[in-house]
Homo-oligomer: A and B are copies of this chain.
Amino acid sequence: MDDRKAVDELCINTIRFLSVDAVEKANSGHPGAPMGAAPVAYVLWDRFLKHNPRDPGWPDRDRFVLSAGHASMLLYSLLHLTGYDLSLDDLRAFRQWGSRTAGHPERGHTPGVETTTGPLGQGVSTAVGMAMAEASLGARFNRPGHDVVDHMTYVLCSDGDLMEGVSSEAASLAGMLRLGKLVCVYDDNDISIEGSTDITFTEDVGRRFLAYGWHVVGPVDGLDLDAVATAIDEARSDATRPSLVICKTTIGYGSPGANTPGVHGSPLGPEGARESKKTLGWPLEPEFLVPEEAKRHMGAALARGEEAERGWKELLAAYAREHADLAVEFSERTTGKLPDGWADGLDSLYGPGASPVATRAASGKVLNALAPRVRALFGGSADLAPSNKTNIDGEGSFAPDDPRGRNIHFGVREHAMGAIANGLAVHGGFVPYTGTFLTFSDYMRPPMRLAAMMGLRVVYVFTHDSIGLGEDGPTHQPVEHLASMRTVPNLTVIRPADATETVEAWRAALENTGGPTAIALSRQKLPVFDRTECAPAEGALKGGYLLWESGADPDVILIGTGSETHIALAAGRTLAGQGLAARVVSLPSWELFDRQPAAYRESVLPRAVRARVAVEAGVRVGWERYVGLDGAVVGMDGFGASAPYETLYERFGITEEAVVEAAHRLIRRSTVTS
C-alpha cells in the first residue's frame, strides 16, 4: 500500500515537473493548473481511462477532454508518460515552431488530443457532444451481447470553464438528456486571473448542476487520491445522470506562489522552479526527469490499452458476423466515409419548371432526401426547426428515453449547439448539422472557429439570410454576417441562389471533409433558374460560374449571391435589351471560387473587364475583392429595418434598377478612360 502511494506520488510529481520544466524552458505557459490538478488527472488516467496510446483513433476509447486548455502541459505529460507518440524532446520543444506541443492542445496536431481547447467553456460543451455521439451510436449499433459502443467521456474543467455561458447551456442540455456516461471533473481551485473567485464566482456550482439534473459528487480533497477515485467511481456508477465531481485543489501546488493568481499563466522562474522542487522533494536536476519507476508504472497503460482494444476488436468481429449490414455502416461511419450512392437522386429534386421555393425549404428537402442514406446526418436547430427546415421527417427526437432519434432539440442555445456539433464530429460517426437564423451565427462563432481550425465536417444551416426576412426587423436581419463569416479561415460559406444551387451547396458541404460549411438560405421564395437558359447548377460547386450572358466580350459583369442573383440576372437581361453585352455571374461561395485554378477564375471574371457590379443584400465592405477599386457594389451600409421584405429591398435600393444604373455608370466611365 505504501509502495503504491509512493509510486503514485512519484508519478504525480513527474507530471508536475515535466510541466514546470517545459514552461520554464519555453519561458511561457501555465504551470499553476498542472501542479494543482496533477493528482486528479493522474487518478483518472491511471485508474479509469480506457485508451490505447498506440491507437489514438480506437473508436471505443474513452474520451478525455482537457477543457482548461491552458493546462496543456498536464495533458502532454500524461500523453508522453502513458506511451503516446510524444517524446521527451517534444515536451522540450513546448510552444516552439513546428513542435507537437502547442501552447494549447490542438486536435490533429498532437496524438491523443481529442479536441482543441483553450477558449474556455468549449471543452466541456464539446464533451457533451461526444457523450451524445456515444449515446446515439450505442442506440443505433449495440445489440444484445454486442455492446460495440460503450465508452465514457471525461472532462477536466476549471472555474473559468464553468463561468462561461456556453458550458451552462451545454450542461443544461446534458442534464435533460441524462447523459450518464459523461463525467466532468471540476478542478476547483478558487483562483482565476484577477484574483480569488470571491470577487467573481461565488455561486454554488454544485447546486447549479443539481438544478440541471446532474449527479454531483464532492467536494473532495483533490490531493486525496482514494477520495478522488471513490468520487469518480460514484460518478461512473450513475448511468442516468451526467456527473460533476468537484475536487478542491490548490493552483500551483508546491510552488512559492501556490494559491495565488500569479502562478496561473507565467513561468515560475528558475528560483520558483527550484523552490517548488525542494518543497515537493524533487531532484533539482536533471530537468525533464522521468524516474524509471514512474515510466514503468504509467507506461503500463500501453499494454492495458492494447489488451482492451484487442478485446473490443474480437467483440466487433463477432458483431460483424451476426450483424453484417450494421457492421458495414459502423465501419463507414467511424471512418467518415459516405455510403456509395449517397448523392443519388439529388439532381432530380428540382427539375425544369419547378415552382418558386425558398432556399430554406429546398434545403429541408435536400436534407430529407439525403437522410435515409446518409445516416451519419445528425443534428437539429436551436429551437427554430420549423423555420430552419432542419427536421428529418419520419425520424424521432434524440431524447433520454430514446436516443435513436436523429433530430436534436438544442433549445435556445446556439453557442452550445456549435460546440456540441464539434463534439459529434470529433467523436466520429457523424456529419453533424445545426440550424438557426443567420443573424444568430454571432452566438456561435467561437465553436465555428474551432471547427474551422480542427478541419471538422460540420454543416451550419443558417436561414433568414438577409433583409429578405422582412418584418422581424434589424435585430433579426443579418447584414454583416456573410461578410464576417467569409473572414474565418477554412470556413466555407455558400449562399445558393435557388433550389438547384441549394442541392449543390449540400453536396459541397458533405464532400468538404476538411472543414465546416455554412449554408445561408432565404426565408422568401425564389424562382428556380431555367437551366435551359442558364448554365447548369453544378457550377455552384466551383463557388462561382458564368450563369448567363448576352454576348461574349462583356461590357459589364454583374455578380450576385443568393436571392440577389435574380436581381443581377434581371438587370443583365435589361442591359442586354439595351444592346450591351452583359455577363451575370452567380457567386454563391467565395471560398470555393478562390480555390479554383487561376485560369478558371479568369474565365469567369476576366481581369480586363473592370466594369463590375456586385449585388448582395448585405454590407458592401469586402466586395472590392471582386469588383476592385473601379467597380460598384449594390448593397447595404447599415442595419436593416422592420417592414415587408419587398418594401425593404426597394427602400434600401437593392433593386434591378440600381444594378442597371451602376452598370451604366461604370460602362460610361470605362469608355471615357479607355
Contact = CB atoms under 8 A, between A and B. Distances in A.
Nearest to A470: B28
Given A207-B207, A386-B193, A607-B629, A453 B118 contact: no
Interface stretch (A169-177, A368-376, A542-550): A169-177
A412 interface: yes
B621 A487 contact: yes
Instruction: Classify chain A: how many residues form its interface, as a range.
Output: 35 or more
A283 to B, nearest CB: 27
Q: Which of A99, A168, A197, A487 has the most CB of B within 10 A?
A: A487
Given A203-B212, A207-B207, A387-B193, A102 B413 contact: no
A489 B175 contact: no
Given A476-B103, A639-B453, A200 B411 contact: yes
Interface stretch (A54-62, A287-295, A343-351, A439-447): A439-447
B175 A104 contact: no
Interface string A376-387: 000001011111
Interface string A440-474: 10110110011011000000000000000011111
Copy number of this protein in the oligomer? 2
B118 A473 contact: yes
A475 B116 contact: yes
A555 to B, nearest CB: 18
Contacts of A453: 474-475, 639
A205 interface: yes
A412 B163 contact: yes
A619 interface: yes
Contacts of A142: none
Interface in A619-674: 619, 621-622, 624-625, 628-630, 636-639, 641-644, 647-648, 651
Interface string A348-375: 0000000000000000000000000000
A29 to B, nearest CB: 7
A409 interface: yes
Contacts of A386: 193-194, 261
Interface stretch (A222-230, A322-330, A477-485, A569-577): A477-485
Closest 9 CB pairs of A and B: A165-B165, A118-B475, A200-B411, A103-B473, A628-B629, A168-B168, A207-B211, A97-B643, A102-B642
10 contacts: A97-B641, A97-B642, A102-B474, A106-B474, A106-B475, A120-B412, A164-B169, A164-B412, A192-B412, A453-B639
